[in-house]
Chains A and B, each alone.
Chain A
Amino acid sequence: VGLTRTAAVADWTSDFDVLDPGYVLDPFGIWDELRTRFPIAHSDRRGSTWLPTRYEDVTAIAHDVEHFSSLQVAVIPFDGTPPSDPVLPYGLPPISSDPPLHTWTRRLLLPWFSHARVGSYEAMTRALCRRLLATFADAGAADAAGHYAQQIPVRVVAHILGVDDALADTFTGWVRDVLEFADDPERRARGVRGLVGYFLAEIARRRIDPGEDLLSMLLHAEVDGAPVEESLVLGTAALVLIAGVDTTWSAIGSSLWHLATHDEDRRRLVAEPGIMAFAVEELLRAYSPVTMARVVTADLEFGGCPMKAGDKVLMNFPAANRDPAVFERPDTVVLDRAVNRHVAFGSGIHRCAGSNLARMELRVALEEWLAAIPEFRLDPAAQVTWAGGQVRGPRELPVVFPVPGARATGTAR
């Protein structure tokens, strides 16, 4: 991960750091300990910040939009920069807004991610997965994150926005700069500059020559008889890209990591495709990639904690999804877990607007991978690397597998 990381954590209850390399690699034991001993931890490392680990607390905070605002949702704060950006005065609505702005900007987006609309993206997603697999299925080895998981959501989202998917790697770079390297001011600024410059040019083009895409719709939408401000269109378009790339890529990557390291689960999913819908929910629960932040609007006591106006709260949905008060055997992946009230997509009014899309992408990516490469495992000669903070998932996932039609060589089962 990034450059400007901080000193080792001695006490997770009062001085946690979500960018601690050990936490990024394996946060689960730390959450278990915090949940028992200190269910809402605190840290002053990146501004006064609270970290709840219980399902009950996380979901209660998510529903209390009056006391916990979404005006600052970044887990890694940007050098204390207040949200008074002249280019993006509203941030990235609706994710970075409260009602009433949240309500109508979200309403503009939702139909593009409805169940029916997402169904229409499935064929192109499947074809994309097959194209990607064809580039390495005969090689016997691949980076399942970089060569596969990372390549899928960015191209699907580019299709929806109506932007050039030949720029997929550039988009991915900007998104990583903004989310993953947010504590590196230069990288963050580069990502923001890239996204803003690109979308401003695309907006100018569509004012003259609109298409059938989401960006054109936002530009030509009327709300209460007036067009949508350009800065809102810009923020919303950037949000779709930022929120649609790292997150789903991480879910696909973590799921493939699990299947590479759990032979029984992998073989069961190949043998019993009927459990795929349950398996997708279970993998989302166990490896929830996304943490969002909230900002406390007024001094209050919550769960015995004296929260001050301006404090951050990290919406630890991944830890909530491992809470033994809600989930039996929470640290075990049960592929056909029937009762699974997970909140990987958040809860309350900010439920991930792209959840239907993410589920489809994860399911199709796993189906196609398992059809082409049913047997695979981590490459014992290479290293898996993980990113964390706002979005947790593998960034390099080297795997090896038998080549179809080739004689087994002993390099893979």
Chain B
Amino acid sequence: MKKIILFILLCLFIFSSCVNKNTSNENKEISKNSNLQEKEFVIPIPIDLSSLSAGVDSSSVTKQVLRNINEGIYKYNSNNELILAVAENIEKTDFNDIIIYLKKDIKFHNGKEMLADDVIYSFKRMAGLNKELDKVLENAWAKLLNSNDGGEESNIVKIDDYSLKIHLNNEFLKESASNLENLLADVFIVPNNVSEKEQSLNPIGLGAYKFKKRNLGESISLERFEDYYGEKPDIKNVKFKIYSDNNSKLIAFQSGDINYIDVNKTNIDIIRGLSLDIIEKPSQDVRQIWLNHRIKPFDDIRVRKALNYAIDKKELINIANGGKGYILDTGLSNYNIYYNENLNNKFDYNPDMAKKLLMEAGYENGLSFKYSIVTENALSVDMAVVIKEQLKKVGINMEIEALTWNDYYDRIYKKHVFEATELQIFAYPDAYRMLKRYMSNVSSNLAGYTNSDFDKMMVDAGRELNESKRKEYFEKAQQILLDDAISVFLFDQSNMIALSEGYYNINIYPFAYIDVSSIKVKR
């Protein structure tokens, strides 16, 4: 018996010794004495990265991490404006040609100086001209470098070590002229003397952070690049750690094991309870109800308008998204630089008007339709319930159909077989990319919307290199979308982030990027 008791005590002793009794003391010591700049800043990510090589994996998580390691010719500042990054100047010599002048003494993470050869190599790599990679990473670059009218790779030529000339061929200009700056921002510059295999295991870029270590399936560690050409970040070491479970992520944040968390409807009260500031900015994503114009009743503009009047967007935001979000009137966020601030005839909540329009359209006894959503998207599910109740008030019976993403993609996104559906359009600063999905000949035009005026406006905007004229085209295009009540544009659900004690500020962008360099340490 004694032996058994002794044995149990021994087991308990072993176990209790394994529990880290000193953690709390260590933490206190760290917060008191150690510099937060030196401490590793831990950011949770939901899944592991498919590839560390620049541009190879297009998933948003990969971009969130790799934008810290890589940079392009342009980048975005905290106001979401494009600014020159590693280029000193860009000169447009004529309609078809641009010359990029590079900054001098800019170093890659491996110590090599960035030269024009590296930039040319990076562009060709995107266009699928790197034999080792053998993949077209960006179609626009493939068009630019492989077209028939410009003479293959000669469309991009080196002038000297710090300048290069790009000849924009007509095929490229037809679609991507206005998008050139964004395309230049999206091409990460990599050194031409590092193999693709090496890049995928130990990526080398020009960014503020350099790759340190990867524990497959667990974490990716970066460290501050001391020779970075721009402003040096406050945080020295950063770790992107995989947390697939939201509850564990919250517990880890509460215990101080991670320093960054996305705030949402489910965790906002707990985060507020920790007395931490919540940084909030519009996500610029567009949440909207797509109505299928190819079929009844949505081929009738009066029905589409009725739906727009029947939905109380403010109430929708309050109930479905905990009061956080920005009402949208058109296919572009109010915070996009091309947003039309003078939109006329907006649809304010007016159930009487909705009823009147339905009556005019011949639906005085109400109407029914099927509303398809992606079941994995929790916010979509919550929104559907609220919208169903709101529409009931004007005599519309909405049947909710929840589909898995794969089914949704096949039937709705690809084949356009649906009546009405809610789909989140992820933000991008380029208005052309956001609005081109409503053009008649585009496969992602779910609604089947056709309007030659809108198409013309977009084609003109795409070709236009003059900034103010381009803005004018985009503004007109937005007004057309509103006038035709093409969809019910709902809201931008906003981005909210909390940082652990001792840290403040982070720049939030309308695309996938956790900008660690913008996080500041309180002193």
Instruction: Decide if A and B are genuine partners.
Output: no
Taking beta carbons and an 8 Å cutoff, which residues of B are in contact with A? none
